[in-house]
Amino acid sequence: MTPKTRALEREEELAGLAARASACQLCPQLVESRSQVVFGAGNASAQLMFVGEAPGASEDREGVPFVGASGKLLDTLLEEIGLSRQEVFIANVLKCRPPENRDPRPDEVANCSPWLEAQLAVVEPALVVTLGNFATRLLRGDPAPIGKVRGRAEVVAVGSRSVRLYPLFHPAAALYRRPNLELLREDFARIPGLLELGPPDQPRDEPVPDAPVPEGEREPAREAGERPGPADDERPGGQLGLF
């Protein structure tokens, strides 16, 4: 398979995931508060992927992650290391805006995590930069605050894949606290060197994990002893809390 063919496949896979996510009804409060699902945006074959917390008002309105003040700062930081938004992929832990920009709830994070795992499996980035506490704690599987782990790259398991993770302050935290901006710039300057390491070795080839099935598409439960039908056999495998 040529790189161009694989790139097209990735774009199609992400488009399919985004279409399914747009119909997700797993979190009633988020369904009520969102204008649309903000699935993610960018290069489907990106070597660098950013993961934030959740869409804010601007993102919910435009359907693209990081388009407010935090997004402008992110664009500037990318330019400083010779990259552009078109070369990276950007997503959030939650794909829907929480009511009044409150913190994501544990059940919402649990419901949305499979979408993020599926995005990581499709894009296969060499480096995943988590922005802020929520994304960092989720992907590290550890409650350590961002202030203690920022700027330290490590390889972690996310679903069935190994991911090189690089936790950084959220751009919003840098906007509110000037010292954090200088630290964020210093940490960003290390990204090109980390990209040169390439992706971490994978234990084995894995299929893209199943994302959540939106309400209305789920199969009814079978009675005890009932055998699966043909369909079973044919089915293909402003932000808070940032500191």
For 17-195, which CATH superfamily applies?
A: Uracil-DNA glycosylase-like domain (3.40.470.10)
In sequence order, what DSSP letters do the residues of 173-219 get, joined into one string?
HHHH-HHHHHHHHHHHTTHHHHHTT-SPPPSS--PPPPPPPPTTSSP
pLDDT on residue 1: 82
Domain ranges of the chain: 17-195
pLDDT on residue 120: 96
Stretches where the chain sits below pLDDT 50 are 219-243
Could you tell me which residues are beta bridge partners of residue 168?
A: 131
pLDDT on residue 203: 77
SS3 category, 72: helix
pLDDT on residue 236: 35
pLDDT on residue 205: 54
Name the pTM for this structure.
Answer: 0.83
pLDDT on residue 144: 97
